[in-house]
Structure 1
Amino acid sequence: MAETIGLIADMFGIVSGFTDLLQASDSSSSSSSSTNPNTATFRIGVGANLDGHTGLGGDLPDARNFGVEGSFLGIVADPDSVRVHVRVIMLPACLQAFYTLFSANDDAICLAYAFMTMAGQEAGQSYGLDGTFGSYCGASWYLSEVVVPGTNYMPKCMWIDENCSQPATGFQVNWVDMSSQNMKANGTAAQNMCNTPSFKVYTDKDPKSITYWSNGDDPSSRTSTKRSLADKFSEILVISDHAEHRAEELCNSTTSAGPGFVNPEQKWFCDMTNKILHPVCGNTPTGDNSTLLTHSGSPTCFDVDSKQLRGAGVKKRSTPSNVQDWRKSL
């Protein structure tokens, strides 16, 4: 537990709060599962709690587990869907899973964090990472409303999708490498762990093999009609006034993916269908980008009340039917 908190502190400046996250579970979990030394568990968090109106939730990934030398231990397949912040997946054996390969299922999901609590000799020891890791390593990402308890930190979430509507179909993690102690000993920064056995994003359909550390330190390998994301998000709009939720960051990133987003406080709207940034109507935007897109000499702007783009030559769209309001004042 302490090592997990230490890792997040080293990477993102967070000094506390993940203890509560690791202890959280939904109603499908047994209260005794976290204390059973013969049961390992995953805790998976999605990017938003959408109360059943799913946008960032989706089908939980399959979890293939491997030993320290890449031996296949077992799989938790098709573990259901998730519509809440935290879902617990119990492993049916006490074998130590040093590596886990998460592979996406039918409905794309945006993962804000994943933690593992060990069984057996290391019972209770927890390791984890959050979705910001994926954004460093080439996975598509979006903003998240998950707040680390005791902090103001909101990690990004990373997309994985079986149908390849996003580049990433899965990712592997070496849990022990995710400890702050190992990272310090190796002098390893998060960005330098990309595409290594420590953390690797996969783009092939239904990945089943991992890359693992061998004794010689050379990576080795072991095996073990649907909506597009554009359709999925076409009727969703996210509104936030959090300072770390910046429309400019979404629009300026080549790997971001998700619903249209507006921050009325910062006075910017990101049209995620084409990655074009628009000011909020009637306001002077803040931030680095102050260039207004123009049509026939008139600035195009986003009307927060009508949830429509305004301006000469702008074609009216259908009003979003699912508005997710993440503002602090609500």
Structure 2
Amino acid sequence: MTAVVEVIGLLSGVMGIWSFFQDMIPGGDGTAATFRVQVAVDGYSEDGSDPLTNGGGGIQTIRTYNVNHNLIGTGGETGSIGSGEYQDLAVGQQVANQATFAEFYANDDAVCIAYISATLHDQTHWAWTGDWGYICGLDWFYSGVIMPGTDSKPRCTWIDRDHSEEIKAGVIGINWAGFISHEQPGADYDGKDKCDNDGAFKAWAGDGQESVISKRALRSRNIEGRLKKRSKFVGDDRLVISSAANQTATELCTHPSSFGPDFVSLEEGKYCNMETRELLPLCGVGVSGKCFDVKAAKSELTKRAEPGQKSKIIEW
């Protein structure tokens, strides 16, 4: 199987190349730019009548621009995209120019995007992964989206228009050509040249507002500052359990920009409480002292779940 497009991203903790195949790319009819928004984790809303309800996030609008950065199209509104789901969004154009740059505006329900792929009006294909939120200092989480041909999963980037959970970005902007690559990056390449004003990836708090990608944030990995802000949704008692070797509870608990549900790494044998940033070993043979019991957690959640309600356990 031949890749339709190859883009640079973060594979197993190092910069590499993600391959996008035909079934990961939206179709196009030659009259619009079409974007596939793949969601990793949706937001969470605590509803007294239905405490297990997940609040799906979505895109308020998409704006497309030509090579001269002139606006050529607006559209693509979604209602909601749930965890692990995607939607294909078409944006009509005023002129038949290639939409080389696109801005994605969140609605008021947060969403963590694993990747966006595109088929422009001229039938060219492009893509971007949520790794870039992590690289450029935005709020991020792991995703359960398996990329074909690898055993790796990209990270996802959080966006939220009303910033109710202190998520930084309400808008992200992507220059598609900046992420196309057919060669493996060098071992010392960190990708930060693609962040903000002079780079291929941009992010703002909202329409017409200031950039939320700061050079200081790119240099800092100080967890203390982040502990003053929320690291998960209020009332979010979901638990993500991952068996992926490159998804560790330690990284989530110690990274200043991670945000999302509590997390278990089976491979690492550790649990991260995202609210307190407490890191615990998983209970098992040879483990003494305080530990996290995965089996007990699953059992408790199963007892509390009511018929028709979604499970709070997300297993990758």
> Does the alignment pair 1:272 with 2:274?
yes
Residues 307 and 201 (structure 1), Cα distance of their counterparts in 2 relative to 1, 3 Å cut:
same
Aligned match of 1:324 in 300, 306, 313? 313
SS in 1 for 2:146: coil
C-alpha contact 1:237 1:320 (8 A) present in aligned 2: no
Structure 1 equivalent of residue 85 of structure 2: 85
Superimposed CA distance per residue, residues 95-122 of structure 1 (whole angstroms, 9 cap, x where no aligned partner): 3222111121110000000122111xxx
The equivalent residue for 2:218 is: none
Paired with 1:129 and 1:56, the residues of 2 have a C-alpha distance of 24
| TM-score normalised by structure 1 residue count | 0.71
What amino acid does structure 1 have at the position aligned with 2:290? T
Structure 2 residue 40 is matched with structure 1 residue 47: yes
Cα RMSD over matched residues?
3.5
Once the two structures are superposed, the pairs formed by residues 283-302 of structure 1 within 5 Å of their partners are: 283=285, 299-302=289-292
8 Å CA contact retained: 2:269, 2:282:
yes
* CA 1:284–1:115: 2 relative to 1, 3 Å: farther
Equivalent position amino acid for 1:300 in 2: K
Distance in 2 between the 1:191 and 1:15 partners?
A: 18
- What letter matches 1:323 in structure 2? K
Which residue pairs with 1:200 in the alignment?
202
Asked whether the 8 Å contact 1:14–1:151 carries over to 2, the reply is no
Q: Would you say the 8 A contact 1:176–1:182 is kept in 2?
A: no
Q: TM-score, with normalisation over the residues of structure 2?
A: 0.74
2:241 aligns with one of 234, 239, 244 = 239
Mean Cα displacement is larger for which, 147-156 or 7-16? 7-16
Q: Is the 8 A contact 2:64 2:99 kept in 1?
A: yes
- 2:105 equivalent in structure 1: 103
Question: How has the CA–CA distance of structure 1 residues 139 and 160 changed in structure 2, closer, same or farther, with 3 Å as cutoff?
Answer: same
* Partner-residue secondary structure (3-state), 1:129: strand
1:225 maps to which residue?
none
Instruction: State whether residues 16 and 184 of structure 2, in contact with CA within 8 Å, keep that contact through their aligned partners in structure 1.
Output: no
CA distance in 2, matches of 1:239, 1:21: 25
Counterpart residue identity of residue 87, structure 1: Q
Q: Distance in 2 between matches of 1:9 and 1:71?
A: 31
| CA gap 1:175/1:264 in 2 versus in 1, 3 angstroms | closer
3-state SS of 1:82 partner:
coil
Cα distance in 1, alignment partners of residues 72 and 255 from structure 2: 37
CA deviation vs aligned residue, 1:228-265 (integer Å, no higher than 9, x gap): 88445622111122212211110010100000011234
Residue 159 of structure 2 aligns with an amino acid whose one-letter code is I
- Aligned partners of 2:148 and 2:53: how far apart in 1? 23
Q: Is the 8 A contact 2:59 2:106 kept in 1?
A: yes
- Number of residue pairs the alignment of both structures matches: 272
Query: Is the contact made by 1:141 and 1:157 (CA closer than 8 Å) also made in structure 2?
Result: yes
Query: 2:181 is matched with which residue?
Result: 180
- Structure 2 residue identity aligned to 1:125: T
Alignment of 1:165-176 (within 5 A): 165-176=166-177
Pairwise CA distance, 1:132: 0.5
Alignment CA distance shift 1:209-1:38 (3 Å): farther
| SS of corresponding position for 1:153 | coil
| Identity level (%) | 29
* Structure-2 separation of matches of 1:189 and 1:245: 19
For residues 280 and 9 of structure 1, what CA distance do their matches in structure 2 show?
27
